[in-house]
Amino acid sequence: MWNLRAIRASEEAIVSDGPLIVQSDKTILLEVDHELATEARHAIAAFAELERAPEHVHSYRLTPLGLWNARAAGLDAEKVLDTLLRYSRFPVPHSLLIDIEETMSRYGRLRLEKDPQHGLVMRTTDYPVLEEVIRAKKISPLLGPRIDGETVVVHSSQRGQLKQLLLKLGWPAEDLAGYVDGTPHLITLNEDGWHLRPYQKLATENFWAGGSGVVVLPCGAGKTLVGAAAMATSSTTTLILVTNTVAARQWKDELLKRTSLTEQEIGEYSGAVKEVRPVTIATYQVLTTKRGGLYPHLELVDGHDWGLIIYDEVHLLPAPIFRMTADLQARRRLGLTATLVREDGREGEVFSLIGPKRYDAPWKDIEAQGYIAPADCVEVRVDLPRDERVAYAMAEDADKYRLCATSETKTHLVEQLVAQHQGEQLLVIGQYIDQLDEIGARLDAPVIKGDTTVKVRQKLFNAFRAGEIKTLVVSKVANFSIDLPEASVAIQVSGSFGSRQEEAQRLGRLLRPKQDGRAARFYSLVARDTLDQDFAAKRQRFLAEQGYAYRIMDAKDVPTG
């Protein structure tokens, strides 16, 4: 184990003043202002996950999944170690080097392949590994007869589950078994007055070359277009899975605008409508509806010969969809997301079932290219009035957050801020409906919440996009996948506790580039000395770690009037 076979680094390859500091706790610090920083960032992005990106020092984490992603992208341990040694300012902890080599060597020792005679088989280059996994209790029922020392038949229906279990055992399999073609259906991009951005093109190409996998792009960077481009490349019937109906409609509009597809070719499969067309957009909710212990709409997924399945917002994929996906391993799968971090920690399942990460662009790069708007986050601290503080102090734990989050002072402050941003497209976002209703009434602005019908929602969103409505008050229904390109100011009055993902999504609403290149402004109103402030601290850390400019100010410093 002492012998790192993979390393070829010569003395000269090591520069002593690189931009990286490799820590023994498996993080890599990147000094952003260093002259080699960009070069180093591109080199390590392939195998390390960006964890924090504040202004001066970014930190990346080395995880087994990240390293296996790199292997899947064709990078070997030798290159990874070489990169670390080349760009590291200080000696790289030796145990880490050994660990990386060992982890990376685990990927691909097992391969899933198509055998002309036996169908789907698992092959190995390392006999003991096969012996080990064959003996694993959960895996043996998924396997068929042993063909020879290095090969074993796999029941083709168990391809997904096998990959999942192998990953858990720490022997991720490389899936080389290929895909079914699906029903051909011509789709072309309608590049008229717009063009795919270079990174969108690259993401599509990387995905297609890899077969299946996930593309990670920041909010507002145009993930839908990557999906459309993938569909055009595939030119087959396609199933698109999205989070909700509004998102489904948005996908449809976008596809009509950007591709050769016509109204008749795109179907919506949701709670309200159930159309199956060559391109079908279905919501997670309808697919996961359970009736009498069965999923009645599952047939949509496996009863048709889809050539491509697109998963929007992969980080939100519900568990039953994973189970379905396990049976779909022979179809091309594209996952789209802004973040691979799942609050439930199921990143491993995304890796084994949808596929490895195929493209990842740090939002800083995309922002620098002008494709997304810069954002300016401001936390405004309000002092609760005396009576509210006493009420807060005496409240039950369960009510405390609601009490402080819906303070009346916040409503006044919202008015002040709205006045300050007169004439700008403005969103007020909150968690508690009563509070939103009150704010809506005060501002004389429409409120969109859970019980607003889809039709009304779309109408309001359209009016907002057209600039007919300047201010919109929305609840958490607008967190995801709603495209409001002109919104430039958002005021968050309350959130669902400290959810980092929600924060990212809400901010994401603002990041579509503005026509005049203005920076987006994101206000968070926080009641001082309360739970609200604790949650805000978590969000602040998250946003600062993402690299957004962040300021804190007191409510009394907000200009009145």
Binding site for other proteins (CB under 8 A): 2-4, 7-11, 13-14, 16, 21-25, 27, 29, 31, 52, 54-57, 85, 89-94, 97, 386, 389-390, 392-394, 534, 540-541, 544-545, 549-553
**Could you tell me how many residues make up the chain?**
561
Cβ count near 432 (within 10 Å): 15
Closer residue to other proteins in complex, CB, 25/516 = 25
Closer residue to other proteins in complex, CB, 57/202? 57
Closest CB to other proteins among residues 73, 391:
391
Q: Among residues 394 and 419, whose Cβ is nearest to other proteins?
A: 394
Shortest spacing between CB 121 and other proteins, in angstroms:
35
Nearer to other proteins, 323 or 500 (CB): 500
Shortest Cβ distance from residue 375 to other proteins (Å)? 13
Lay out the sheet containing 489-492: strands in order across: 447-448, 471-474, 426-429, 489-492, 520-527, 375-382, 549-554
CB of 63 to other proteins, least distance (A): 16
The nearer residue to other proteins, 449 or 538, going by C-beta atoms, is 538
Cβ proximity to other proteins, 27 vs 285, nearer residue:
27
The two structure tokens encoding residue 346: 């199921």
Nearer to other proteins, 179 or 497 (CB): 497
Query: What is the 8-class DSSP label of residue 50?
Result: E
Least separation in angstroms between residue 98's CB and other proteins is: 9
Q: Smallest distance, Å, CB 383 to other proteins?
A: 11
Measured between alpha carbons, how far is residue 360 from residues 41, 83, 372 in Å? 12, 18, 15
Half-sphere exposure of 301 (CA within 13 A, CB side): 29
Q: How far is the CB of 406 from other proteins (least distance, A)?
A: 18
Please say whether the beta carbons of 198 and 206 come within 8 A. Answer: no
Nearer residue to other proteins within complex by CB, 142 or 507: 507
Residue 97 beta carbon to other proteins: minimum distance, rounded to whole angstroms: 8
Start-to-end C-alpha separation, the chain: 70
The least CB distance from residue 321 to other proteins, in Å, is: 34
> From the CB of 530, what's the least distance to other proteins, in Å?
10
Question: Quick one: 56 or 135, whose CB is closer to other proteins?
Answer: 56
Smallest distance from other proteins to CB 95, Å = 9
Sign of CA dihedral 226, 230, 231, 232: positive
Angstrom distances, CA of residue 358 to CA of 203, 210, 216? 7, 7, 8
Tokens of 515: 């026509």
Name residue 96's amino acid: L
> 368, exposed or middle or buried, with CB in 10 Å at 0-12, 13-18, 19+?
exposed
Q: By three-state DSSP, how is residue 79 classified?
A: helix
Cβ-contact 11, 19 below 8 angstroms:
no
Q: Minimum distance from CB of 134 to other proteins (Å)?
A: 29
- In this complex, which beta carbon is closest to other proteins, that of residue 45 or of residue 97? 97
How far from 153 is each of 113, 141, 212, 255, 331, CA to CA, in Å? 10, 11, 22, 41, 20
* Beta-sheet strands, E only, within 420-532: 426-429, 447-448, 471-474, 489-492, 520-527
Which residues of 57-135 form beta strands (DSSP E)?
57-61, 110-115, 119-124
154 neighbors 339 (Cβ within 8 angstroms): no
| Cα 320 to Cα 290: distance, rounded to the nearest angstrom | 10
